[in-house]
């Protein structure tokens, strides 16, 4: 596996695909590139070993750090044993829903495959995060921060902080996402979480018997007298959390890409999927540490300490640990009005510049005529066809087998239905692929009516919206009299309290297919979502970017899949010849192709052995075999049954001989034909990649290239 990460895929990403993608970027805008490997990791965040999802071996994952208008390239390698999609909460993907990373817009990345996201972060700043969007995977991790910095020419509306700190908070279960899925499939509720994590660590040890000893808290190091920007994200499964720091104030400054009017809080409610920036001054007694706390909202006194995460704020000259009781949570278990009033107090800083020089308040949303209203009612889970499902307006969404815009481009009939009701209807609930046919350049009103029993968060991909009102009871047209038409906060995720409504206004200026969903993972998994299909009829959709060259195909279009499908593909290499690879149904998958000139094709078997062989042999013919190959490709060494872990360096011994057994069914050459290359000749030279304990290298003989793999 180390070679897979260090060599083959570096070759693919660095030399081949990145070069292709660079032609798609705006020449005047810089690019940032990342390589993310998603894999399982054993960790004990609650004191009990369990499987989590790591990114590049880290839990939480690494940060994507970019600046307004940068082109972002992220090559994602799925080393899980299930499908994967990566979505980017709050990143608007202007005109480019192909990169959004949800199942209605993208085919999943299968196990042992990779896919490269490429998008521009157009006209955005702020605090966001990425996470895996399929099948409750976020409940096991896989998330990381996405920071969008202002361009140098655009001022920020506060003094430059002395540091930038990312904090992930979220409820957590000792069962992984697979077990949680099974519980939901069986019609069960997930129940009270087993704890709350801060940056993947630290449930509060409220009971010395029930909570194991030795639990590690996340420690945040600060210097006295300095001010830090804390970017706090609730990446949990379903629990609203109250965030606070012992003896410190939180100065609210930004949420999900928009600067707020600055105001101090001693504690702040952050709901599932939401992100906030606070400025925190280190102005307390620096001789001791302080508790950072995230605790569940709206639970009784006997439960809140159980569902609490703790971190440590450590002053650089501190002489003692944090002490004293944890700062108390708000005492309003049965009265959510305090939380709602706090949310309503968050206002847009209309005079501050955002991503552009013009003030954030220059868009006068309150004076624009509403073109259409959607009232979306959510209910507790119901039974549909014998299974537990969650609904919006009586529709429990079923994921399309063929992504929406891909189906449009290829005229796939029946991939979805444009019949999502704009208000609750008096009819039995049903499972369906119903989406909203929205009008491009429309200005719509969406009302979330929460008739469920829990606080819900709703999120809209591709957009931010103005949160103009929320209140208890049933929304009516008269409720518009309560709207904030002047300085409502613009964001992408809003809370909706049980027995209450939240209204948002959205300007539909970003064509594509965009996911509108509940962020509570249990309800999302059970079908509480839909999509808005927004196309420009005057230009036949050409306002959007075209289908990416590396698009994955599935569903009705699976036969179009290149490289990783069971269908024939052609791979170019030196000269005019073409090598055909047909019906790739070996025990491995094609992992990498093409290093030009010449080429490489790689297979992985049993998640361990990666074997690469040459595309450039003079004796190969260009005919496609009539039957798929039966043999495996393999690498051999003169001293071992498996090739030794030599790097492409002087460490390669002169007497090493590597052979590739070429399946005759594939290439039409004799069964005894083998190509051998030795390192003893000065005419042959290392052509490859890799370092440390593994490497891929090729030995060039004459006009051909012989490529082998070295595995550890």
Q: What does the pLDDT read at residue 216?
A: 84
Domain assignment present for 213: no
Q: What does the pLDDT read at residue 301?
A: 66
Residue in 485, 251, 487 with CA at minimum distance from that of residue 351: 487
Domain assignment present for 248: no
Higher per-residue confidence, 588 vs 549:
549
| Mean pLDDT on 350-358 | 87
Higher per-residue confidence, 13 vs 63:
63
Residue in 513, 519, 565 with CA at minimum distance from that of residue 99: 513
**Could you say which DSSP state residue 140 is in?**
G
What is the average pLDDT value for the chain, to the nearest integer? 79
**Which residues 6+ apart lie within 8 Å of 288 measured at CB?**
315, 318, 319, 320, 321, 322, 323
Q: 605: domain range?
A: 562-710
Note the pLDDT tens digit of each residue in 457-476. Answer: 999 999 999 999 999 999 99
**Which residues 6+ apart lie within 8 Å of 449 measured at CB?**
375, 376, 377, 378, 424, 474, 475, 496, 501
- How many secondary structure helices (H) and strands (E) does the chain include? 8, 44
Q: What does the pLDDT read at residue 698?
A: 34
| Mean pLDDT on 417-436 | 97
pLDDT exceeds 80 at position 117: yes
| Mean pLDDT on 693-712 | 32
| Mean pLDDT on 560-575 | 41
CB atoms within 10 A of CB 407: 20
285-299, 520-534, 621-635: least confident range: 621-635
CB atoms within 10 A of CB 154: 16
Give SS3 for 39: strand
Task: Using pLDDT thresholds of 50, 70 and 90, give the confidence band for residue 298.
Answer: confident
Q: What is the CATH number of the domain that holds 387?
A: 2.60.40.420
Q: Distance between CA 66 and CA 146 in Å, rounded?
A: 8
Backbone dihedral angles phi then psi of residue 341, each to the nearest 5 degrees: -65, -35
Q: Distance between CA 167 and CA 150 in Å, rounded?
A: 20
Q: What does the pLDDT read at residue 212?
A: 67
Q: What does the pLDDT read at residue 4?
A: 36
Percentage of residues in the chain having pLDDT higher than 70: 72
The residue from 539, 570, 602 where one domain ends is 539
Q: What does the pLDDT read at residue 636?
A: 27
Measured over all CA atoms, what is the biggest interatomic distance in the chain, rounded to whole angstroms? 87
Task: Using pLDDT thresholds of 50, 70 and 90, give the confidence band for residue 124.
Answer: very high
Domain assignment present for 267: no
Q: What does the pLDDT read at residue 645?
A: 27
The residue from 482, 504, 539 where one domain ends is 539
Q: What does the pLDDT read at residue 79?
A: 97
Note the pLDDT tens digit of each residue in 192-211. Answer: 999 999 999 977 766 666 66
Per the structure block, which two tokens stand in for 34?
A: 């990342």
251-255, 542-546, 609-613: least confident range: 609-613
Verify that 571 and 523 share a domain, yes or no: no
Starting at the edge strand that comes first in sequence, how are the strands of the sheet with 31-43 ordered? 50-55, 31-43, 71-78, 114-120
Verify that 512 and 422 share a domain, yes or no: yes
Q: What does the pLDDT read at residue 335?
A: 72
Starting at the edge strand that comes first in sequence, how are the strands of the sheet with 490-491 ordered? 372-378, 443-450, 500-507, 465-472, 490-491
The angle formed by the CA atoms of residues 552, 528 and 477, to the nearest 5 degrees, is 125
Higher per-residue confidence, 565 vs 641:
565
Verify that 477 and 587 share a domain, yes or no: no
CA distances from 55 to 9, 131, 141, 182, 415 (A): 16, 10, 9, 24, 33
**Can you name the residues that pair with 75 across neighbouring β-strands?**
35, 116
Determine which helix (DSSP H) or strand (DSSP E) holds 605, and give its type and residue range. strand 600-605
| Mean pLDDT on 242-255 | 98
pTM of the model: 0.78
pLDDT exceeds 50 at position 432: yes
Task: Using pLDDT thresholds of 50, 70 and 90, give the confidence band for residue 245.
Answer: very high
Q: What does the pLDDT read at residue 563?
A: 52
**Which residues 6+ apart lie within 8 Å of 521 measured at CB?**
136, 138, 139, 237, 238, 272
Verify that 590 and 456 share a domain, yes or no: no
> Tokens 């005894």 sit at which residue?
672
Per the structure block, which two tokens stand in for 680?
A: 């003893």
Q: What does the pLDDT read at residue 126?
A: 98
CA torsion sign, 508 to 524 to 457 to 252?
negative
Residue in 338, 396, 341, 412 with CA at minimum distance from that of residue 517: 396
Q: What does the pLDDT read at residue 265?
A: 98
Q: What does the pLDDT read at residue 641?
A: 24
Domain assignment present for 176: no
Task: Using pLDDT thresholds of 50, 70 and 90, give the confidence band for residue 96.
Answer: very high
Please, are residues 292 and 167 in contact by the beta-carbon 8 Å criterion? yes
Verify that 632 and 532 share a domain, yes or no: no
pLDDT exceeds 90 at position 268: yes
**Which residues 6+ apart lie within 8 Å of 325 measured at CB?**
none
**Can you name the residues that pair with 149 across neighbouring β-strands?**
67
Whether the link from the prior residue into 404 is cis, omega within 30° of 0, is no
Q: What does the pLDDT read at residue 642?
A: 28
CB atoms within 10 A of CB 425: 12
Q: What does the pLDDT read at residue 542?
A: 67
Task: Using pLDDT thresholds of 50, 70 and 90, give the confidence band for residue 639.
Answer: very low
Domain assignment present for 133: no
Verify that 498 and 418 share a domain, yes or no: yes
pLDDT exceeds 60 at position 628: no
Q: What does the pLDDT read at residue 597?
A: 31
Note the pLDDT tens digit of each residue in 10-51. Answer: 333 333 333 334 334 444 689 999 999 999 999 999 988 999
Verify that 465 and 512 share a domain, yes or no: yes
Verify that 459 and 573 share a domain, yes or no: no
Half-sphere exposure of 549 (CA within 13 A, CB side): 10
CA distances from 137 to 73, 254, 675 (A): 22, 28, 45
Percentage of residues in the chain having pLDDT higher than 90: 66
Verify that 527 and 612 share a domain, yes or no: no
Q: What does the pLDDT read at residue 574?
A: 29
Determine which helix (DSSP H) or strand (DSSP E) holds 2, and give its type and residue range. helix 2-3
Verify that 603 and 528 share a domain, yes or no: no
pLDDT exceeds 60 at position 429: yes
Per the structure block, which two tokens stand in for 327?
A: 């700062």
Backbone dihedral angles phi then psi of residue 14, each to the nearest 5 degrees: -70, -40
Verify that 621 and 685 share a domain, yes or no: yes
Q: What does the pLDDT read at residue 646?
A: 26
Transcribe 61-122 into DSSP letters: -PPEEEETT-EEEEEEEE-SSS-B-EEEET---TT-GGGS-STTTS--B-TT-EEEEEEE-T
pLDDT exceeds 70 at position 90: yes
Domain assignment present for 265: no
Task: Using pLDDT thresholds of 50, 70 and 90, give the confidence band for residue 556.
Answer: very high
What burial class does residue 593 get, using C-beta atoms within 10 Å of its C-beta: 0-12 exposed, 13-18 middle, 19+ buried? buried
Q: Distance between CA 433 and CA 666 in Å, rounded?
A: 42
CA distances from 63 to 2, 116, 146, 540, 609 (A): 22, 17, 6, 37, 30
> Tokens 């010395």 sit at which residue?
208
Task: Using pLDDT thresholds of 50, 70 and 90, give the confidence band for residue 354.
Answer: confident
Domain assignment present for 2: no
Q: Distance between CA 548 and CA 96 in Å, rounded?
A: 9
Note the pLDDT tens digit of each residue in 141-179. Answer: 999 999 999 999 999 999 999 999 999 999 999 999 999
> Tokens 């409220």 sit at which residue?
206
pLDDT exceeds 90 at position 278: yes
Note the pLDDT tens digit of each residue in 303-325. Answer: 767 789 999 999 999 999 999 88
Per the structure block, which two tokens stand in for 224?
A: 């006295």
Q: Distance between CA 303 and CA 642 in Å, rounded?
A: 56
| Mean pLDDT on 230-257 | 98
Residue in 298, 299, 171 with CA at minimum distance from that of residue 238: 171
Backbone dihedral angles phi then psi of residue 88, each to the nearest 5 degrees: -125, 90
The number of domains in the chain is: 2
Domain assignment present for 666: yes
Note the pLDDT tens digit of each residue in 570-623. Answer: 332 222 222 222 222 223 333 333 232 333 333 333 333 333 333 322 222 222
Note the pLDDT tens digit of each residue in 656-693. Answer: 333 333 232 222 222 222 333 222 222 233 333 222 23
| Mean pLDDT on 421-429 | 96
Verify that 496 and 573 share a domain, yes or no: no
Please, are residues 226 and 204 in contact by the beta-carbon 8 Å criterion? no
């Amino acid at each position: 596996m180390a070679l897979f990460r260090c060599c083959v895929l570096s070759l693919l990403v660095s030399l081949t695909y990145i070069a292709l993608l660079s032609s798609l970027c705006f020449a005047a805008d810089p690019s940032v590139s990342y390589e993310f490997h998603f894999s399982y990791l054993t960790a004990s965040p609650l004191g009990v070993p369990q499987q989590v999802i790591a990114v590049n071996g880290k839990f939480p994952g690494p940060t994507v750090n970019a600046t307004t208008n940068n082109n972002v390239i992220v090559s994602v390698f799925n080393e899980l044993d299930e499908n994967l999609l990566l979505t980017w909460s709050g990143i608007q993907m202007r005109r480019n829903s192909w990169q959004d990373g949800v199942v209605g817009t993208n085919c999943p990345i299968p196990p042992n495959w990779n896919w490269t996201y490429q998008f521009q972060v157009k006209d955005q700043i702020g605090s966001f995060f990425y996470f895996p969007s399929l099948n409750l995977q976020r409940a096991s991790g896989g998330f990381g921060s996405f920071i969008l910095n202002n361009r140098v020419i655009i001022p920020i509306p506060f003094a430059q902080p002395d540091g930038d700190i990312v904090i992930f908070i979220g409820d957590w279960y000792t069962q992984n996402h697979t077990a949680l899925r099974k519980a939901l499939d069986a019609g069960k509720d997930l129940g009270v979480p087993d704890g709350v994590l801060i940056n993947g660590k630290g449930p509060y040890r409220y009971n010395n018997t029930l909570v194991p000893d030795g639990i590690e808290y996340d420690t945040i190091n600060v210097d006295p007298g300095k001010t830090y920007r804390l970017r706090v994200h609730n990446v949990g499964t379903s629990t609203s959390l109250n965030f606070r720091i012992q003896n410190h104030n939180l100065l609210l400054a930004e949420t999900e890409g928009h600067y707020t009017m600055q105001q101090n809080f001693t504690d702040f409610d952050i709901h599932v999927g939401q992100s906030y920036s606070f400025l925190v001054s280190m102005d307390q007694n620096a001789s001791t540490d302080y508790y950072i706390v995230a605790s569940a909202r709206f639970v009784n006194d006997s439960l809140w300490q159980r569902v609490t995460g703790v971190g440590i704020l450590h002053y650089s000259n501190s002489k003692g640990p944090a002490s004293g009781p944890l700062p108390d949570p708000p005492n309003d278990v049965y009265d959510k009005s305090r939380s709602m009033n706090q949310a309503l107090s968050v206002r847009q800083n209309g005079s501050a510049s955002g991503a552009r020089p013009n003030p954030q308040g220059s868009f006068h949303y309150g004076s624009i005529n509403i073109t259409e209203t959607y009232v979306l009612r959510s209910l507790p889970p119901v039974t549909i066809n014998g299974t537990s499902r969650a609904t919006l307006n009586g529709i429990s969404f079923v994921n399309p087998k063929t992504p929406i815009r891909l189906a449009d481009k290829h005229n796939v009939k029946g991939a979805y239905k444009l019949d999502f009701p704009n208000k609750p209807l008096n009819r039995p609930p049903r499972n369906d692929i119903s989406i909203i046919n929205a009008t491009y350049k429309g200005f719509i009103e969406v009302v979330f009516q929460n008739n469920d029993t829990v606080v819900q968060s709703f999120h809209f991909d591709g957009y931010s919206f103005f949160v103009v009102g929320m209140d208890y009871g049933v929304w009516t047209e008269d409720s518009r009299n309560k709207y904030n038409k002047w300085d409502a906060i613009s964001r992408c995720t809003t809370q909706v309290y049980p027995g209450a409504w939240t209204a948002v206004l959205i300007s539909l200026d970003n064509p594509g297919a965009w996911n509108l969903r509940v962020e509570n993972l249990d309800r999302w998994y059970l079908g509480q979502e839909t999509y808005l299909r927004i196309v420009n009829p005057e230009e036949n959709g050409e306002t959007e970017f075209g289908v990416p060259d590396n698009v994955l195909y599935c569903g009705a279009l699976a036969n179009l899949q290149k490289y990783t499908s069971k269908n024939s593909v052609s791979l170019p290499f030196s000269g005019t010849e073409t090598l055909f690879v047909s019906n790739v149904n070996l025990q491995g998958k094609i992992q990498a192709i093409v290093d030009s000139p010449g080429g490489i094709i790689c297979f992985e078997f049993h998640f361990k052995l990666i074997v690469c062989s040459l595309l450039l042999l003079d004796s190969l013919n260009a005919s496609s075999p009539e039957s798929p190959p039966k043999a495996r490709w393999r690498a051999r060494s003169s001293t071992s049954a498996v090739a030794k872990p030599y790097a492409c360096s002087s460490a390669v011994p002169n007497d090493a001989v590597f052979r590739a057994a070429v399946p005759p069914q594939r290439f039409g050459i004799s069964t005894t034909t083998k190509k051998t290359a030795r390192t003893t000749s000065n005419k042959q030279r290392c052509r490859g990649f890799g370092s440390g304990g593994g490497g891929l290298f090729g030995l060039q003989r004459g006009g051909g290239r012989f490529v082998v793999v070295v595995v550890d």
